[in-house]
Chain A
């Protein structure tokens, strides 16, 4: 799964979009990992107020609210997703995970230049990198770039282009706020990787009517 790799947008927008992906390796460090993953959730909970979104790939049908951190600290997670808008908060969280030496793989998804800096500031080095080489093929079938920026924040494509446009229209009509629309969109993404904060800002750029 490469569902966080193809996020679009200008560099300055991506400065507010970092995802930590933490996962066990099947059959290698899986044994005894349940407790470690719970401990990692405990570390992440120190940053709860700084998180934009989080989850462990369980269904998120809770009306766009964040997951229940207390439940996640007791859950059986094979994967952890956490979205930060502030690179310094991500850095602090990553540093704490590093110092606890859980032995579980951690991936930072976001701007590479920033990721490299974060790594060097806390004594880590990039080991393996997945680069996005963009979108190819019959690109005439893609929606406009503004819709695509929101759409690609759920790499499983559960937040449909039509739904994004529908929300823009509803905001224009005064039927919903940008914040409310972003919450409705994030609800479609089960993995907790959708950046609701950034979506709200992008929606606000796409609409003429901006109710608070």
Chain B
């Protein structure tokens, strides 16, 4: 069974996000493989190590710099990588068309994608890809095993969580708690340099964006940033309750 694992390269959680003109400017920001996608790579590797997978293929679509994220996936243990290099920003529905084509070409039986990456805050790619392929999908998964031709696991839903069972092929989106991703070791980083990283172009897949970003702004609400002295607990409590009444107006 081939496993396709999708990678996005996003700003590090601590990185400062800037807006230039009407778009987010990532120039100079520290960029990393998205944390949620890391759970996907790790899970793919674990399934392969458990005998359920034969090959793990990492896929990224985006600018040249995405090679770094793919090399990280290869250094973690992915067998090979595909990079569709483009500067066109694709929305999730458009991107799913490309991912579905690659999954079919590669004859993949399982696709792992991040639940909601730290750049576009979208949850749509996994489900849209599943629909294009006619596969079921499991989102916000925090437990996953392969048993024969079935996937068994646990995931979060609207009002709690569910255990599930579903036939392969399928799409699974990840979240924190699924596993503890490994760090690439130096020997594996060296080995990764020799692994295949195929370059494709967007034109090969005939995909156009369906929605476009026309503006971006950082709307940090101006916070009061006032400090109440906590040494006298009773006085601090009285002051805070008064503020909740008079300023926030949430208490009678």
- Whether A associates with B in a native complex is no
